[in-house]
Structure 1
Amino acid sequence: MKNLSRLLFAMLLVLGYSNVNAQDENNPWQITIGANAVDFYPTGENAPLGDTFDEFFNAEDHWNILPSLSTISVSKYIGDGFTFGVAGSLNKIDKWGDASVDDLSYYAVDGTIKYSLQNLFNSNTFEPYLGAGGGYTWVDEVGAGTINGTLGLNVWFNENIGLTLQSAYKHAFEDYLQTHFQHTVGISIKFGGADTDGDGIYDKDDACPDVAGLEAFNGCPDTDGDGIEDSKDSCPNEAGLAEFNGCPDADGDGVADKDDNCPTVAGLKALAGCPDADGDGVTDADDSCVNTAGPAANKGCPWPDTDGDGVLDKDDNCVDVKGTVANNGCPEVSDEVQKQLNEYAKTILFDTGKSTIKTQSAAVLGDIIKILKEYPNSKFTVEGHTDSVGSEKLNQRLSDSRANSVKEYLVKNGIDAFRLSALGYGESKPIDSNKTRKGRANNRRVEINLAK
């Protein structure tokens, strides 16, 4: 009972040792439970005891082995590969060197600072270590202090569980206690960890280690308690529905309140959650004829729209051709048309270093003019670009001049001047590398883009 009390005392001593830094940062605590063997033979004393390391592995003749649970140790990671631990051990001594003795009780409490050599071996499985420390050992109720040197090996089966093999040389300070070896084998368990945000989830398992959260979300918070973690919740401070990424829908119209212009009245998704009683595409709040369908341009009241493009005839510059509201009822320049314009424009050729257009560009300019005339209400910007050869100032001037040359050509050939503007960008907007001849050629270009 007295021996067990001392073991428990050792355990409590370590568990109370909580002011050192948090085995590694992720698993700072280690507990080892196992058996030990005590060898009083190789102590460097006179006969009948041998010299140090004599018959070191002669377990049959010299080792006192208590095969049951006889050793327990607890240690904590300090930092930079160092750990501090305390161990308690029990044994029965019937071999003292080459001599036999009656069963003497043996128990010890030892404190050890260990240094891991794992990084030197670049292995996650094998962890050799060295240790130094001291303790107190009793043999048959007579005790003495010892200074200890330790060599050991942890063999880790996984991140937390492993086998520990250790030999400690214990030099006694009193003549009545012989210097001796104590060998230990046991199962070790690493556990614990840092918990920066105090949410009960260790940082190594916490997806949000700096913010307190819930275990269900790997340590991340759900501020509004709607079952959707904040990082995936579009409305983290207001409880909502999963289908709306955590945002509420007060009127139940399928439009989340944050996107609903009429959050208290059920409406249509197409109208941002607002109602449209006559179905004319104008919300009731903006419709002057709530129960009679009409175009938006007339606040929802009926007016002629011959081509049905949503632009009233009185405002439609192309009454018989369906167009767009943005283009006053005339056809909009499509992406395909825009692309074709620039396919033509980039082939316009100039005299080297000048803004004069070469005569062989007349055909492609004619194609451009045909396209522009198909969209009489659309406005365009003629843009000039250069490569990076030469000074930036010269390139800016040249791009301005070339853009204006193209504009003037188009105006002279039937395009209204008010529909065109010219602008040079110099070398500021390359579309290819200026480090190759081909890239520079691509960067020397004219573009004709729809003005928006």
Structure 2
Amino acid sequence: MKHLNSILAAALFIFAIGVVSAQDQNNPWAIEVGVNAVDVYPVGITDNGRLPALAGALEVKGDLFDEYFNQNDHWNILPSVSRISVGRYIGNGFTFTAAGAVNRIDKLGDLEVDDLNYYSADGEIKYSFRDLINGPGGWFDPSIGIGGGYTWVDDIGFGTANALANVRFWVTENVALSFQSTYKHAFEDEYGIIHFQHSAGVAFKFGGKDTDGDGIYDKDDECPETPGLPEFNGCPDSDGDGIEDRNDACPNTPGLAEFNGCPDSDGDGIADPQDACPTVPGIAALNGCPDADGDGITDADDQCPNEAGPAANNGCPYQDRDNDGVLDKDDQCPDVPGTVANNGCPEVTVEVINQLTEYAKTILFDTGRSTIRPESYAVLQNIVDVMKEYPTASFVIEGHTDSVGRESTNQKLSDSRAAAVRDYLTTIGMDSSRLSSIGYGESRPIASNKTKAGRQQNRRVEISLKK
């Protein structure tokens, strides 16, 4: 029986090292080094478990878990690195581990004995509750397990069946402090020692594969052979424009999402590949070429490129169509009465801004979201109608919230609501180049957030003139 137990323990030890598969899916292997303590007293020696070879004919007997934490009187500790283990994760929270330990026994319960050499080799199967408690990647990692092994005390050897509890505290992604307590039940009635073995150590996990070296493990990397970015699941964004190469029509030139990653160098809203004048702002109707005076004639064909005029007069003005006292050649808004000070375009007054803001304050959204409610569409059309009366003015849509909830959530909500109003105005005819949006979250209240009425006033959208 003794030899059979030795063969069983050795086979289990080899299996745990060579076959078992580590600490999480990204880094399946783990090595732990530390110290161990052997304690007989909390389990004692059964009536059939006398140790004449070690302790004479005396019984060393305590109740289960009796003085379990009494390290001063009962624990045997070797003051050096005395335990090492190797483990491999196999999935679904299970880990196989092989462990070896050495110690020096001078206390068997309440008995003092001559220094006895202690050696153990164990195989363990553990289940971790880490993901259940913390979610993937949590720092608190408790587990339970079972196993078996073989223990030698001087020249006496015996097999054991083990039950264990372990907890690890991950201080970094790959390093943890580990504490374990193992109950070892001896197979040998005459020579076996039923005992606890406690251990503490530092665990290091490793083994994750990252072929392209971009810090994203191959199993999570959609482009495992090309260095990429976490936000694109490991795929590259060569030009750094926030659009991954796979979806970028111009992967080597920074561009905009609205143009599938291609640039709009002159900022005229027409992507460079489709722009006949890519370095000079233009208009879509003229394939991206400029019409500085807005008379519908490209600057190249306009004899008065900086003054609006009809094609019949080769682009040069000769009238004051809006009768505002500014000739068309000088009038930046020849069809809209304006002022001389504003080059023939109407000026936006404080009253107009106040009117727009009053309109904006009545815009309704779905609760906690940035979706505009249909009953607000009419007032949004009124806003566009007013804005169109001032064709050279640009406006800023401002979002505000009350202070209920997290500040970061309120900031995000105010940003998205302001952007939603801006985007809707462009869909009903407002030039997007004249609109911008910004969210101020809860930072600019106009009333007290301590009352319901005050909070309602603070949840608002306002419109200001862009300077």
TM-score, normalized by length of structure 2?
0.48
TM-score by length of 1: 0.49
